[in-house]
Amino acid sequence: MGWSLFMQHLVNAISLGFVFGLVAVGYALVYGVVKLVNFAHGDVFMMAAYFMFYASVLFGFPWLAAVIFGVVMTALLGVGIEKVAYRPLRKYPRINSLVSSIGMSFLLQNFAVVVFGGIQRSFPVPEMMRKTIILGEVRIQAVSIYTIVFSILMVLLLTFILQKTKIGLAMRILSTDFDTARLMGINVDNTISFTFALGSALAAVSAVFYALRYPQIFPFMGQYPGSRAFIAAVVGGIGSIKGALIGGFLLGMLTVLLPAAFPEYSGYREALIFALLVIVLVFKPNGLFGQEAGEKA
Amino acid sequence: MKRSTRVLLSLMLIIVIYIFVYFSELHMDPFIKRILNTGLIYAILAVSLNLINGFTGQFSLGHAGFMAIGAYTSALLYMSPETKMSNFFMIPLISPLDRIQIPFFWALIIGGLMAAGAGFIVGAPCLRVRGDYLAIVTYGFSEIIRSLFNNLQNITNGPLGLKGLPTYTNLWWTVSWTIVTIIVIKRIVDSSYGRALKAIRDDEVAAENLGINLFKHKVLAFVVGAFFAGVAGGLLGSLLMTIDPNSFSILFTYQIIMIILLGGLGNITGSVVVGIGFAFLMEWLRFVEMPMHIFGIEIPGILGMRMLIFSVLLMLTILFFRQGIFGQREFSWEGVAKLFQKRKVKE
Amino acid sequence: MILQAVEVERTTEPNVRQTVLKLEHVTKKFGGLVAVSDFNVDLKEGELLGLIGPNGAGKTTIFNLITHVIPVTEGKIEFYGKDITKLSTDRIIKLGIARTFQNIRLFSNMSVKENIMTAFHVHLKSDLFTAVAFLPKYREEEEFIQQKTWELMKEVGIEHLADHKSSSLPYGLQRKLEIARALATSPKLLLLDEPAAGMNPDETLELNQLILRIRERYKLTVIVIEHDMKVIMNISERIIVLDHGVTIAEGTPSEIQQNPLVIKAYLGVGDEDA
């Protein structure tokens, strides 16, 4: 692999890593606060793409307005899912919510098939995103650069919310202890709703960049990035934001660079990535960057 | 009621079932027969997953993976060398698999054993990972199997799958295996071993402090559950006549989970009834995808409606029927006797 | 009659009795926190040891260390002369140690009867095949289990509740069921973690008698953790007092009651609790 080709792959990997990373942050936020592996997160991501598609194509929203509309709708969807599918089960064993999230994932996919149709649709890509930037011998897609820049902005925004705002503080307290949070007068329900809104909005933003990169949208499009991000979140240490981002990078690198380096084994990429997941969980259950949790009482 | 009476009644019921099978094989509509076969395979899958998830409390998402192993292993053993040759036109099947052909029964057993071996490997991490983490590990395993089967072209024929599998599966096979599965798992659950499994489900620390070896018993549940899943996979392959890696995706596992939830976690009767019922429901729901005429207006069929209804049902079960439709109520001859006594009193 | 039996036990010279449990320099650290520090005990056959101390003194931790629910940081644990420090929990139980839990841990979805029957599993001789095939050997064992379970339920007075779900029992009876379940593993050493917690005075009195009775009948050596001084002072032959993981006193109940260190560290607090 030549240097220029390597650079192209690298930029590609970094931007894909950010996409996975932002979706993974959604898993991490939700897991951190309510200790739920939200299997429906990838499908929320898919719904985001459809919201934007319909806003733009059917209702003729300008592109940016369609994106904002999509982000807001997705955030609302996330809040709604939590209210309907997870909140009533909060007092039951955690496994109930887990099954509920699996069911929700199933429901969203099938809903999309029936309502949006099973065929692929073309996501609108604005002209400025279609460009290819040429630096010497290195050819980089404009989308990759936009993805990286906007993702960094999103991470900064997220850090600001978590560290400097009241609701961010509430989320952090909730993630350590529900009872303490209640004693401190934190509105648990609202904080959880906000967590879902935030996680879903991040999924929506990454859905934009994902759809710009692969502009065919379909009801099962959330599965692949969803499972990638999910693995990223687990490998990074589920519940840890930093871990999710680093995990996302790792997955982005593996996804792009592995087949580029060893084209003959590219078929085994999936098996390898899932094996990584299993190995990390078995030998380092708290992930590479997760906090050590107390073992059995 | 004495044990001997119960055994006798059960034996009589089994004979009645086999008489039914005899006449069904002769006279039943092939379409219905096919659905019934599918339903019985679902029942085997549900009962075996229930041993792991319901009785032992180890939330596994690996059942589709076990099925895939069983389906492929047995298919590669019972297919004729000629069929294999025509399937593997891209990359030839490795020796000696390309020449071997063994009877269906032994192919199923070996398929089950291979799956059981996988069950051991998947069950082993149970000691280190628990709850939703275990769910993720088993999901990962199932995806690894699918990915490997998509790539090991000289064994599995890759994404093309295997086609033209001989149809050995009939009601004799599915009914017999369902009965064997139910008896074996029921006997495990009712034995001292079953009590240990249920103890692990209810409180691991307490179970361990009564001297129950957690590892041994969790692995036991996985191995037995996986064996029957493997057999069910073998039966399904021969029923559908075609298998490919992607038909054993996580969605298949979700369906089995839905069945055991609806039937009630840790309820064998529920798993069997809902398993068979599920096959008929899914078939019956096909009508929603066909064009309909209501009051002279034609409503076009909507593709995917069937699965949407299914997923809504799933969500309703999860949210409102946490105990399933059957709850803790199991079929028992005592229960039947009581039912008759009540009727007599009424008369 | 029961009290007389105790008197007999007490007059026996402790030195000639065999050592059941020996903890040497046992220490447990959680991160920087020392939960148990240099704990030593030499427990003779038939002895009834009381373990007391304020909340967080490390009493339950000692139980958890003995049955290896958590590993020791330093030190050695011997049971009938055999080093069990590194053995797994299930093997330790199999050797003959049983315990109850401070926060009752019954199998909530199983009946009272099943809870006790489960505890016989540890000594089951039939393998899985024998059990599933319901061969005569297993049938015999199962019958034995049924019969013994019935005896144990009678012993603690819950036989009329055999088929009730264990979680439906009142608190006091749940504690008794837990004791019966522990006895089903045929222990030589019984560890009771606050058996009187949540009981009224009548129930507590009854519990005292139960503990002494089962000790006699099943030839047990017992360690009791208890906050209720009426229990501890009445039934223990020897008491060890812990505070912040450190052993601050050891002696007979009357010695402990007069020990100024104990009064300062514990009894004052204990009275407020009661």
Burial class of residue C271 in the structure, from the number of CB atoms within 10 Å of its CB (0-12 exposed, 13-18 middle, 19+ buried): exposed
Whether A281 and B150 lie within 8 Å, measured CB to CB: no
Q: Is residue B137 within 8 angstroms of chain A, CB to CB?
A: yes
Q: Where are the domains positioned within chain B?
A: 30-262
Residues 33 through 72 of chain C touching chain B, CB cutoff 8 Å:
67, 69
Spatial contact of B111 and B77, defined as CB atoms under 8 Å apart:
yes
Whether B201 and C109 lie within 8 Å, measured CB to CB: yes
Contacts of B210 in chain C (CB under 8 A): 93, 98, 118-119, 121-122, 181-182, 184-185
Number of domains in chain A: 1
Residue A143 lies in a domain: yes
**How many CB atoms are located within 10 Å of the residue B30 CB?**
7
What is the pLDDT, as a whole number, of residue A290?
Answer: 63
* Residue closest to A104 by CA, chosen among A195, A34, A40: A40
Contacts of A285 in chain B (CB under 8 A): 128-129, 133
Q: Is residue C19 within 8 angstroms of chain B, CB to CB?
A: no
Q: Is residue B136 within 8 angstroms of chain A, CB to CB?
A: yes
Integer Rg of chain A from CA: 19
Residues of chain C with pLDDT > 90: what percent? 69
* Residue closest to B197 by CA, chosen among B228, B177, B223, B179: B223
Helical segments of chain C, H only: 2-11, 59-66, 89-96, 112-119, 128-132, 136-156, 171-183, 201-217, 229-235, 253-258, 260-262, 268-273
Whether B209 and C89 lie within 8 Å, measured CB to CB: yes
Instruction: Judge whether residue B109 has pLDDT over 90.
Output: yes
Residues of chain A with pLDDT > 70: what percent? 97
**Residues paired with residue A132 on neighbouring β-strands, in sequence order:** A141
For residue B194 the two structure tokens come to 């079953």
Supply angle C-alpha C162, C164, C168, rounded to 5.
Answer: 135
Q: Find the mean pLDDT for residues B130-134.
A: 81
Q: Write a three-state SS string for chain A.
A: CCHHHHHHHHHHHHHHHHHHHHHHHHHHHHHHHHCCCCCCHHHHHHHHHHHHHHHHHHCCCCHHHHHHHHHHHHHHHHHHHHHHHHHHHCCCCHHHHHHHHHHHHHHHHHHHHHHHCCCCEECCCCHHHHCEEEECCEEEEHHHHHHHHHHHHHHHHHHHHHHHCHHHHHHHHHHHCHHHHHHCCCCHHHHHHHHHHHHHHHHHHHHHHHHHHCCEECCCCCHHHHHHHHHHHHHHHCCCHHHHHHHHHHHHHHHHHHHHHCHHHHHHHHHHHHHHHHHHHHHCCCCCCCCCCCCCC
Contacts of B68 in chain A (CB under 8 A): none
Q: Is residue A279 within 8 angstroms of chain B, CB to CB?
A: no
* Residue closest to A197 by CA, chosen among A78, A49, A73: A78
Q: Find the mean pLDDT for residues B252-274.
A: 90
Of B192, B198, B207, the CB nearest to C124: B192
Mutation target vs B (from C70, C87, C115, C121; most B CBs, 10 A cutoff): C121
What is the pLDDT, as a whole number, of residue A143?
Answer: 87
Number of domains in chain C: 1
Whether C126 and B196 lie within 8 Å, measured CB to CB: no
Whether C185 and B210 lie within 8 Å, measured CB to CB: yes
**How many CB atoms are located within 10 Å of the residue C105 CB?**
21
Q: Which residue of C has its CA nearest to B57?
A: C109
What is the pLDDT, as a whole number, of residue A262?
Answer: 82
Residue C233 lies in a domain: yes
Q: Find the mean pLDDT for residues C113-130.
A: 94
Q: Is residue B204 within 8 angstroms of chain C, CB to CB?
A: no
Residue A291 lies in a domain: no
Whether B310 and A297 lie within 8 Å, measured CB to CB: no
Of B195, B206, B266, the CB nearest to C117: B195
Of C99, C117, C132, the CB nearest to B187: C132
| Dist CA C227 CA C206 (whole Å) | 17
Contacts of A96 in chain B (CB under 8 A): 318, 322
Instruction: Judge whether residue C266 has pLDDT over 80.
Output: no
| Dist CA A244 CA A30 (whole Å) | 12
Q: Is residue B2 within 8 angstroms of chain C, CB to CB?
A: no
Whether B202 and C88 lie within 8 Å, measured CB to CB: no
Q: Which residue of A has its CA nearest to B204?
A: A296
Instruction: Judge whether residue C273 has pLDDT over 60.
Output: no
* pLDDT tens digits, B203-236: 999 999 999 999 999 999 999 999 999 999 999 9
Q: Which contiguous run of DSSP H or E holds residue B169?
A: none
What is the pLDDT, as a whole number, of residue C181?
Answer: 96
Q: Which residue of B has its CA nearest to C109?
A: B202
For residue A252 the two structure tokens come to 């982005």
What is the pLDDT, as a whole number, of residue C78?
Answer: 95
* Residue closest to A150 by CA, chosen among A286, A21, A5: A21
Whether B308 and A113 lie within 8 Å, measured CB to CB: yes
* pLDDT tens digits, B288-305: 777 766 676 766 777 788
Print burial letters for A35-52: b (CB count within 10 Å at least 16), e (below 16): bbbbbbbbbbbbbbbbbb
What is the pLDDT, as a whole number, of residue A118?
Answer: 81
In sign, the C-alpha dihedral spanning B250, B254, B255, B257 is: positive
Whether A98 and B132 lie within 8 Å, measured CB to CB: yes
3-class DSSP state of C221: strand
* pLDDT tens digits, A178-213: 878 888 888 889 999 999 999 999 999 999 999 998
| Dist CA B67 CA B227 (whole Å) | 9
Neighbours of chain A (3+ CB pairs under 8 A): B
Whether C90 and B187 lie within 8 Å, measured CB to CB: no
Tell me the DSSP string of B230-296.
HHHHHHHHHHHSEE-GGGGSHHHHHHHHHHHHHH-TT-HHHHHHHHHHHHHHHHHGGGGGS-EEETT
Instruction: Judge whether residue C125 has pLDDT over 60.
Output: yes
Of B187, B192, B198, the CB nearest to C110: B198
**CA–centroid distance for A178 within its chain:** 25
Of B188, B210, B266, the CB nearest to C122: B210
Of B132, B310, B315, the CB nearest to A95: B132
Whether A275 and B140 lie within 8 Å, measured CB to CB: yes
Number of Cα atoms under 13 Å in the Cβ half of residue C19: 13
**Residues paired with residue C23 on neighbouring β-strands, in sequence order:** C41, C77
Of B205, B210, B214, the CB nearest to C118: B210
Contacts of A232 (CB under 8 A, 6+ apart): A20, A21, A23, A24, A244, A247, A248, A250, A251
- Quote ipTM for the complex: 0.86
Neighbours of chain B (3+ CB pairs under 8 A): A, C
| Dist CA A31 CA B263 (whole Å) | 29
Confidence of residue C268 (pLDDT cuts 50, 70, 90): low
Q: Find the mean pLDDT for residues A245-267.
A: 85
Residues 206 through 265 of chain B touching chain C, CB cutoff 8 Å:
206-214, 220
For residue C150, give Cα distances in angstroms to B203, B206, C157, C166, C246. 23, 21, 10, 15, 42
Q: Is residue A89 within 8 angstroms of chain B, CB to CB?
A: yes
Instruction: Judge whether residue A270 has pLDDT over 80.
Output: yes
Q: Range of C80's domain?
A: 2-110+187-262
Whether B59 and A98 lie within 8 Å, measured CB to CB: yes
Q: Write a three-state SS string for B181-236.
A: HHHHHHHHHHCHHHHHHHHHHHCHHHHHCCCCCHHHHHHHHHHHHHHHHHHHHHHH
Closest-CA distance of chain C to residue B130, Å: 16
Whether B188 and C128 lie within 8 Å, measured CB to CB: yes
Q: Find the mean pLDDT for residues A24-38.
A: 88
Q: Which residue of C has its CA nearest to B182?
A: C132
Q: Find the mean pLDDT for residues C93-99.
A: 95
Per the model's pLDDT, the better-predicted residue between A285 and C164 turns out to be C164
Burial class of residue C265 in the structure, from the number of CB atoms within 10 Å of its CB (0-12 exposed, 13-18 middle, 19+ buried): buried
Contacts of C145 in chain B (CB under 8 A): 192
Q: Is residue A184 within 8 angstroms of chain B, CB to CB?
A: no
Closest-CA distance of chain B to residue A61, Å: 28
Contacts of B143 in chain A (CB under 8 A): 227, 270-271, 274
* Residue closest to B220 by CA, chosen among C89, C132, C110: C132
| Dist CA C262 CA B209 (whole Å) | 32
Q: Range of A81's domain?
A: 3-283
For residue A30 the two structure tokens come to 């939700």
Q: Is residue C176 within 8 angstroms of chain B, CB to CB?
A: no
Contacts of B318 in chain A (CB under 8 A): 85, 89, 96, 99-100, 103
What is the pLDDT, as a whole number, of residue B136?
Answer: 86
| Dist CA A51 CA A74 (whole Å) | 8
Residue A290 lies in a domain: no
Residue A294 lies in a domain: no
Instruction: Judge whether residue C172 has pLDDT over 70.
Output: yes
Spatial contact of A74 and A60, defined as CB atoms under 8 Å apart:
no
What is the pLDDT, as a whole number, of residue C270?
Answer: 46
Q: Which residue of C has its CA nearest to B189?
A: C132
Neighbours of chain C (3+ CB pairs under 8 A): B
What is the pLDDT, as a whole number, of residue C272?
Answer: 43
Residue A297 lies in a domain: no
* pLDDT tens digits, B143-197: 999 999 999 888 999 889 999 999 999 999 999 999 999 999 999 999 999 999 9
| Dist CA A72 CA A53 (whole Å) | 14
Of B141, B310, B315, the CB nearest to A278: B141
Of B198, B199, B209, the CB nearest to C99: B209
Domain containing A79 — which CATH number?
1.10.3470
Contacts of A99 in chain B (CB under 8 A): 257, 261, 318
Q: What is the mean pLDDT of chain B?
A: 89
| Dist CA B76 CA B234 (whole Å) | 10
Confidence of residue C267 (pLDDT cuts 50, 70, 90): low
